[in-house]
């Protein structure tokens, strides 16, 4: 899923300060799952903004709502009847949701309340870790199911750098060296010989290197 | 505030579970045996687990009550009835070690006997009757001087060797020793009447004896007052002392010199006593009650007694459904009061046992599947592993399994869960009402 | 804001602190009327949103009272509550409310004295801190 974290309150206050009435919009998908932009966080942020603004002497009306998904136009359409009088939207979705709103409501300023972080998996309650960078040409089949692009600071494709010590990455002792993980895994799969195969230089075009990407399913697309 | 929340109240559905009708009684003193007998007489299977190797508890050291009833034959009768009862299984040398399950269906494990072999008992009702212990205080030269005894020891001398009593000219009794102090703020309840009981018994054997009772307040409550009056009529001298200037004690050979201030004379008086009897009262058996409280998850008072669910409304119930408390495990009590409470427990337990299911109240969490994001946060946070993602892909909580703690409710990022009885709108209504009042 | 009387919301767990409050009552122990109690089944049920809402409504202080460590009736609700309180305290600072206005305390059901004492101490502490900045802003 896509993970995100709320932006500092000060930054958000700057966004919404000029307005008298805003819509604070949550999303019931990924950002709910990573506890950053669901109904609960919408409530918390609305109260927090309200109080911070009240302190500085301004008053603002904050309407709260949460969509099933902000990245689909049909769900966004639900906002139309309630958007009357709204001067701006503060979106608690990932960047995709924010842009979807901006596309739909041409005359309304739309601001992000979150910093969208990464595609990650949950390690345990309350902990999410980066796992994929969407390179468009998945190598997990060769690397024992562990991604050297998302999980190596240098995105090395053919074994570790010289900074790998006792299984840890040189950037921090808390970070596993992904190549150690890959090696351990290949070993337990009995596929050590995979490790010596040289991976050719990666073609980054599929990873966005040649501009914005798009997927079109001919059979579905109208 | 409460009204604001009641306005938002919704109809609730009680949750019920089948109940196992076996009873575990912990503690084989007068209280435990009394509850066990009453319940077994109704045909319920009772397991009576006693820590020591014999039944009877503290009352084995008491021979007569204030009213003159013989305690020992009574206990002997209780013990044999309990042992012979077809529905009571006595387990002595039993140490409770673990406990699990749900109201109505508990499992309690114990280690039994010198071999410590493990046994688990399934039960729906638990009675705690683990008693209290004589206060082991060492004040007033209790350990060093032979003329100084506790009231319990005095009681034994009176019962077993009355000839000794005939040789006592002066007897001093000090009340509230180790009770109503900073360490033990409780009144032990039994000591005032014990002092009167022993004083009257001493005068019966030795009418010439002079008895001084040094007290802070005489608390011979109820009809005990008649015996207090009788003691005064018979010449027992009652002298009040204050906690700041307690009597002082000096051993003098076989005797002991007790010095106290007489408030009326305003003078210090010294009595050379042949026997100094200390009313040392009783205290909670902290080691035992602390361990049981941890195992059974039960609350205790600051001084180590088990705390009932409500002083007035549920005086013998503990907060966990199916748990009851009787006797001095609950607070200091006389034998007859312990028996009354044990009977009350048996009656309360029967109100549960008469049914085939146990009512657990309505405080269960409920998921609104329209709001649920299937994030698993509730599944992970529930301490009892109740929520699960169902075949429709939404979290589901079985109300019969839910303990009603509300942890999933407060962590759900989609605000998809409400705890019945503690719904968000009710809590928010309370908050708003408070501030409406304050800001008005 | 002369004669300032703080308003303090106490979220009390049913099994410990709420019973302790009852106990304080039956022991005739006085505690300040500034403390308004909201009963919750477990301190782990306290919702960050409700704490924030209390401040938004003008509370000068909020505390959550749960069972002693290791004593939670539901295993670990008090630990969860303590973590949540730390989280919300950071948020309060971000908003511009002194984080000292939010506290977590623990006590057992039998500690009527501790309940009364805690309520008194917290009231005094909040009295010293003065009215919450939100309350001041609401009044203006
Ligand atoms: C010093 C003293 C003097 C008293 N004098 C009088 C008097 O004069 N008149 C009067 O009416 N009353 C008197 N009492 C009170 C009377 O003794 C009690 O009311 C009565 O004995 C209480 O019975 P019980 O069954 O509740 O507790 P107890 O008699 O204390 O029995 C409790 C039983 O539980 C067992 N137990 C404890 N912990 C565990 C455990 N973890 N697991 C299993 N079993 C356990 C103990 O071994 C014991 O057998 C006196 C009490 C004391 C201490
Ligand atoms: S925590 Fe809430 S949103 Fe997440 S699975 Fe449970 S009920 Fe659904
Ligand atoms: S209320 Fe408590 S016991 Fe019930 S499902 Fe939620 S976390 Fe589990």
Cross-chain Cβ contact A47/C53 below 8 Å: yes
SS3 A59: coil
Q: Which residues contact A75 (CB under 8 A, 6 or more apart)?
A: A67, A68, A69
The whole-angstrom distance between A5's CA and the closest CA on chain B is 13
d(CA B346, CA A84): 67
d(CA A202, CA B304): 71
Q: Which residues contact B68 (CB under 8 A, 6 or more apart)?
A: none
Give me A122's structure tokens.
């949950």
Q: By the 8 A CB rule, do B132 and B335 touch? A: no
SS3 B92: strand
Give me A186's structure tokens.
């290949």
Contacts of C110 in chain B (CB under 8 A): 299-303, 305, 307
Report the chain A residue with the minimal C-alpha distance to residue C96. A52
User: Region B40-63: what's the mean pLDDT?
Assistant: 95
User: Region B289-294: what's the mean pLDDT?
Assistant: 92
Q: Is the pLDDT of residue B438 over 80?
A: no
Residue range(s) occupied by CATH 3.40.50.2300 in chain A: 2-118
CATH number attached to the domain at A2-118: 3.40.50.2300
Cross-chain Cβ contact C138/A51 below 8 Å: no
Pick the CATH number of B2-14+360-439 from 3.30.479.30, 1.20.1250.20, 3.30.70.20, 3.20.20.210: 3.30.70.20
**Which ligand 2 atom is the nearest neighbour of the CA of A32?**
3
Residue A167 has what pLDDT? 95
Question: Binning pLDDT at 50, 70 and 90, where does residue B263 land?
Answer: confident
The whole-angstrom distance between B96's CA and the closest CA on chain C is 18
Nearest residue (by CA) to ligand 1, atom 48, is B57
Residue C70 has what pLDDT? 80
Specify whether domain B20-133+283-354 bears CATH 3.40.50.920: no
User: Region B338-365: what's the mean pLDDT?
Assistant: 92
Which strand (E) or helix (H) includes residue A73?
helix A73-77
Class of CATH domain C8-139: alpha beta
- Taking Cα atoms as reference points, which of B431, B334, B310 lies closest to residue B8? B431
SS3 B240: strand
Contacts of B299 in chain C (CB under 8 A): 15-16, 19, 108-110
Residue B418 has what pLDDT? 97
Nearest to A40 among C49, C96, C140 (CB): C49
N-terminal to C-terminal alpha carbon distance within chain C: 11
So where are chain C's domains?
Answer: 8-139
Buried b (16+ CB within 10 A) or exposed e, B82-112: beebebbbbbebbebeebeebbbbbebebee
Give me A158's structure tokens.
């053919």
Note the pLDDT tens digit of each residue in B134-177.
998 888 888 888 889 999 999 999 999 999 999 999 999 999 99
Instruction: Name C36's bridge partners.
Output: C9
Residue A73 has what pLDDT? 97
Q: By the 8 A CB rule, do C98 and C64 touch? A: no
Higher confidence at residue C1 or residue B302? B302
B46-50 and B23-26 as β-strands: parallel, antiparallel, unpaired?
parallel
Residue B12 has what pLDDT? 86
Q: Which residues contact A190 (CB under 8 A, 6 or more apart)?
A: none
Ligand number with the minimum distance to the CA of B198: 1
Specify whether domain B136-280 bears CATH 3.50.50.100: no
Residue B394 has what pLDDT? 96
Q: Is the pLDDT of residue C22 over 80?
A: yes
- Taking Cα atoms as reference points, which of A185, A160, A164 lies closest to residue A175? A164
- Taking Cα atoms as reference points, which of B423, B421, B430 lies closest to residue B409? B423
In chain C, pLDDT over 90 holds for what percent of residues? 84
Note the pLDDT tens digit of each residue in B114-132.
999 999 999 999 999 999 9
Q: How much helix, strand and coil, in percent to the nearest 5, is found in chain C?
A: 50, 15, 35
User: Region C76-97: what's the mean pLDDT?
Assistant: 97
User: Region A20-29: what's the mean pLDDT?
Assistant: 97
Q: DSSP for B247-261?
A: -EEEEETTEEEEEEE
Q: What is the ipTM of this complex?
A: 0.95
User: Region A161-182: what's the mean pLDDT?
Assistant: 95
Question: Binning pLDDT at 50, 70 and 90, where does residue B309 land?
Answer: confident
Higher confidence at residue B300 or residue B408? B408
Residue C1 has what pLDDT? 54
Question: Binning pLDDT at 50, 70 and 90, where does residue C137 land?
Answer: very high
Q: pTM for the whole thing?
A: 0.82
* Low-confidence winner among A218-222, B107-111, B355-359, C81-85 (lowest mean pLDDT): B355-359
d(CA A46, CA A50): 6
Which strand (E) or helix (H) includes residue A65?
strand A61-67
Q: Is the pLDDT of residue A89 over 90?
A: yes
Residue B433 has what pLDDT? 93
d(CA A33, CA B374): 8
Question: Binning pLDDT at 50, 70 and 90, where does residue A191 land?
Answer: very high
Give the CA diameter of chain B. 90
To test ligand 3's pocket by mutation, which of B403, B410, B423 has the most ligand atoms within 8 angstroms of CB? B403
Cross-chain Cβ contact A35/B373 below 8 Å: no
B46-50 and B282-284 as β-strands: parallel, antiparallel, unpaired?
unpaired
Scanning the structure block, which residue is given the tokens 């209390």?
Answer: C54
Residue B88 has what pLDDT? 97
d(CA A180, CA A151): 11
Residue B310 has what pLDDT? 83
Q: DSSP for A93-158?
A: S-HHHHHHHHHH-TTS-EEESEEEEEEEEEEETTEEEEEE---SS--TTTTTT--HHHH-TT--SS
Give me A202's structure tokens.
């990666």
Q: By the 8 A CB rule, do C100 and C124 touch? A: no
Residue C113 has what pLDDT? 93
Q: Tell whether the torsion through CA atoms of C50, C55, C56 and C60 is positive or negative.
A: positive
d(CA B254, CA B274): 7
Contacts of B311 in chain C (CB under 8 A): 22, 26
Displacement of CA C98 from its chain's centroid (Å): 15
* Chain mean pLDDT for chain B: 92
User: Region C95-121: what's the mean pLDDT?
Assistant: 96
Residue B2 has what pLDDT? 84
Note the pLDDT tens digit of each residue in B391-416.
999 999 998 889 899 999 999 999 99
B417-419 and B365-367 as β-strands: parallel, antiparallel, unpaired?
antiparallel
CA angle B152, B158, B163 (to 5 degrees): 145
The whole-angstrom distance between B172's CA and the closest CA on chain C is 33
Question: Binning pLDDT at 50, 70 and 90, where does residue C36 land?
Answer: very high
Residue A206 has what pLDDT? 92
Task: State the distance from the centre of ligand 1 to the C-alpha of B31, rounded, in angstroms.
Answer: 8
- Taking Cα atoms as reference points, which of B346, B141, B323, B360 lies closest to residue B247? B141
How many A/B residue pairs have CB atoms within 8 Å?
39
Question: Binning pLDDT at 50, 70 and 90, where does residue B440 land?
Answer: low
- Taking Cα atoms as reference points, which of B299, B364, B345, B289 lies closest to residue B126? B345
Scanning the structure block, which residue is given the tokens 């949701």?
Answer: A97
Note the pLDDT tens digit of each residue in B220-250.
999 999 999 999 999 999 999 998 889 999 9
Residue B199 has what pLDDT? 95
Q: Is B372 in the pocket of ligand 2 (CB under 6 A)?
A: yes
Nearest to C26 among B300, B302, B311 (CB): B311
Give me B55's structure tokens.
């039944």
Give me C91's structure tokens.
């948020």
> Which DSSP letter does residue C75 get?
S
Residue C2 has what pLDDT? 62
Give me A169's structure tokens.
């990455």
Residue A147 has what pLDDT? 97
In chain C, pLDDT over 70 holds for what percent of residues? 99
A21 phi/psi in degrees, rounded to 5: -145, 120
């Amino acid at each position: 899923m896509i993970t995100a974290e709320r932006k500092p309150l000060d930054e958000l206050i700057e966004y919404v300060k000029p307005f008298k009435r805003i819509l604070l919009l949550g999303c019931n998908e990924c950002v709910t799952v990573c506890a950053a932009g669901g109904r609960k966080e919408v409530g918390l942020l609305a109260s927090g903004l309200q109080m911070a603004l009240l302190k500085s002497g301004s008053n603002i009306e904050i309407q709260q709502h949460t969509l099933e998904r902000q990245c689909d136009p049909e769900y966004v359409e639900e906002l139309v009847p309630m958007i009357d009088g709204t001067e701006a939207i503060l979106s608690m979705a990932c960047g995709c949701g924010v842009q979807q709103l901006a596309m739909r409501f041409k005359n309304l300023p739309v601001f992000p309340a979150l910093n969208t972080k990464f595609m990650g998996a949950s390690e345990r309650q309350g902990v999410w870790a980066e796992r994929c960078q969407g390179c468009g040409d998945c190598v997990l089949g060769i690397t024992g199911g562990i991604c050297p692009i998302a999980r190596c600071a240098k995105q090395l494709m053919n074994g570790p750098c010289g900074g790998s010590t006792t299984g840890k990455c040189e950037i921090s002792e808390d970070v596993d060296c992904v190549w150690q993980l890959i090696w351990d895994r290949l070993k337990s799969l009995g596929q050590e010989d995979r490790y010596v195969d040289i991976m050719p230089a990666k073609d980054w075009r599929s990873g966005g290197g040649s501009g914005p990407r798009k997927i079109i399913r001919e059979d579905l697309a109208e | 505030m409460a009204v604001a929340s009641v306005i938002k109240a919704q109809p609730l559905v009680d949750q019920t579970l089948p109940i196992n009708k076996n009873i575990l009684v912990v503690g084989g003193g007068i209280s435990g045996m009394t509850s066990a007998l009453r319940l077994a007489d109704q045909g319920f299977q009772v397991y009576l687990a006693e820590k020591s190797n014999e039944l009877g508890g503290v009352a084995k050291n008491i021979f007569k009550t204030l009213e003159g009833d013989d305690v020992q034959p009574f206990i002997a009768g209780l013990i044999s009835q309990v042992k012979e009862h077809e529905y009571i299984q006595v387990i002595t040398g039993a140490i409770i070690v673990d406990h699990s399950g749900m109201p109505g269906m508990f499992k309690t494990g114990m280690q039994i006997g010198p071999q410590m072999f493990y046994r688990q008992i399934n039960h729906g009702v638990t009675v705690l009757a683990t008693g209290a212990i004589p206060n082991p205080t060492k004040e007033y030269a209790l350990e060093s001087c032979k003329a100084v005894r506790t009231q319990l020891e005095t009681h034994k001398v009176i019962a077993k060797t009355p000839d000794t009593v005939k040789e006592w000219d002066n007897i001093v009794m000090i009340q509230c020793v180790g009770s109503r102090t900073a360490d033990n703020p409780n009144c032990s309840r039994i000591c005032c009447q014990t002092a009167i009981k022993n004083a009257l018994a001493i005068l019966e054997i030795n009418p010439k004896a002079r008895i001084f009772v040094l007290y802070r307040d005489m608390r011979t409550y109820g009809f005990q007052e008649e015996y207090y009056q009788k003691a005064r009529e018979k010449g027992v001298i009652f002298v009040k002392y204050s906690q700041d200037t307690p009597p002082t004690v000096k051993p003098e050979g076989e005797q002991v010199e007790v010095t106290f201030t007489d408030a009326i004379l305003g003078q210090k008086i010294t009595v050379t006593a042949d026997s100094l009897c200390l009313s040392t009262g009783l205290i909670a058996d902290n080691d035992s009650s602390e361990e049981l409280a941890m195992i059974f998850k039960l609350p205790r008072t600051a001084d180590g007694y088990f705390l009932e669910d409500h002083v007035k409304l549920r005086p013998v119930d503990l907060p966990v459904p199916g748990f009851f408390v009787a006797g001095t495990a609950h607070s200091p009590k006389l034998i007859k009061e312990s028996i009354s409470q044990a009977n009350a427990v048996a009656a309360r337990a029967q109100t549960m046992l008469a049914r085939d299911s146990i009512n657990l109240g309505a405080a269960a969490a409920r998921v609104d599947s329209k709001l649920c994001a299937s994030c698993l946060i509730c599944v992970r946070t529930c301490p009892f592993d109740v929520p699960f993602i169902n075949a429709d892909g939404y979290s589901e909580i079985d109300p019969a399994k839910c303990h009603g703690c509300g942890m999933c409710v407060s962590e759900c990022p989609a605000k998809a869960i409400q705890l019945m009885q503690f719904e968000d709108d009710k809590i928010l209504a309370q908050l708003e009402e408070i501030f409406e009042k304050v800001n008005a | 804001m002369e004669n300032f009387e703080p308003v303090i919301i106490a979220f009390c767990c049913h099994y410990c602190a709420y019973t302790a409050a009852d106990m304080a009552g039956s022991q005739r122990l006085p505690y300040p009327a500034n403390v308004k109690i909201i009963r919750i089944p477990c301190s782990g049920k306290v919702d960050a949103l409700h704490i924030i809402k209390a401040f938004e409504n003008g509370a000068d202080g909020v505390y959550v009272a749960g069972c002693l460590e290791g004593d939670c009736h539901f295993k670990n609700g008090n630990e969860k509550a303590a973590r949540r309180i730390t989280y919300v305290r950071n948020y309060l600072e971000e908003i511009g409310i002194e984080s000292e206005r939010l506290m977590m305390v623990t006590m057992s059901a039998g500690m009527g004295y501790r309940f009364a004492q805690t309520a008194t101490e917290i009231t005094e502490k909040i009295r010293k801190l003065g009215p919450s900045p939100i309350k001041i802003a609401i009044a203006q």
